[in-house]
Amino acid sequence: MFVVLFGLLALSCLPLSVLGVLEDRDAHMYRVNIYLPPKEGRDENADILEIKTKLAGLTDIKVLLSFKELGNSMVILVLRVDKACNWPQLTSFLARKGYEVKVTPVYYCSDVARELGLNMTRDFYDTVLEDDEDLVLGTQIFHVKDLTTAEYDEVLRQMFVRDMGILKAGQRAACFRTLAGLPVEVIHFAPVGQKKMEAIAEILHAPGNFDFEILRIQQLDRYTGGCE
């Protein structure tokens, strides 16, 4: 379970010329899923509160976003690792605790949108979602199938065009793309309410070949170990 994380540690210590093309420039941002599997004697509340304490004490690793999946023992993080070789201060802790960990490099959706020809500044999406209690994580996976490169790029471009309209109408969201090949995976973290669910419905019914998954999440700072 932990091989991915240590592999990324080694990869992150390589110079950019080794890592690859310019699109890899934000390879020091990561989505980290930490799953606490059931175990005799395990106190889930105490473990999650200990994770919160550990995150607060990290140096050269900035926690951009931190959530807990509602109804599941999963902590979801987006980290910026300014000095990648400082990973062990977190990885050694997670390994010692015996958690299941998945690490995925990500970069900003706004960078993707600009590469597709849209006029979108990096601050168009939120980088923090501090004040909202009701949140979702939405994951879109865009399948290639029989599309040409130009057609596939246009599907992604239209998704960002819809995003721009939704955000200009008052919706807020943080957005990242998985740093990988195909199919493209895009993740949104967004506050929801009765009216804002209409924006999600618009995404669900949008044209295009993609899978869409929604998880209910809460700010990790709001997790106090009580009943959900």
Confidence of residue 206 (pLDDT cuts 50, 70, 90): low
> What mean pLDDT, rounded, does the chain reach?
80
Q: How far apart are CA 179 and CA 133, in angstroms?
A: 29
134: CB partners within 8 A, 6+ apart:
191, 192, 193
Q: How high is the pLDDT of residue 211?
A: 83
Fold of 110-220: Alpha-Beta Plaits (3.30.70)
What digits encode the pLDDT tens for the residues 26-79? 458 999 999 998 877 778 888 999 999 999 999 889 999 999 998 889 999 999
Instruction: Let me know: does 140 contact 212? Beta carbons within 8 Å.
Output: yes
CATH (residue range 3-106): 3.30.70.100
- Residue 14 pLDDT greater than 70, yes or no: no
3-106 matches 110-220 in fold: yes
Domain limits, the chain: 3-106, 110-220
Q: How high is the pLDDT of residue 102?
A: 93
Joined tokens for residue 123: 């601050």
Confidence of residue 85 (pLDDT cuts 50, 70, 90): confident
Confidence of residue 21 (pLDDT cuts 50, 70, 90): very low
pLDDT more than 70, % of the chain: 77
Confidence of residue 177 (pLDDT cuts 50, 70, 90): very high
What digits encode the pLDDT tens for the residues 118-168? 999 888 888 777 666 688 898 989 888 888 999 999 989 998 998 898 888
- Residue 111 pLDDT greater than 60, yes or no: yes
Q: How high is the pLDDT of residue 128?
A: 75
0.95 exceeded by the pTM?
no
**Least confident stretch, 29-33, 74-78, 173-177, 188-192:** 188-192
Most confident of 78-82, 174-178, 180-184: 174-178
Decide which of 29 and 182 is more confident.
29
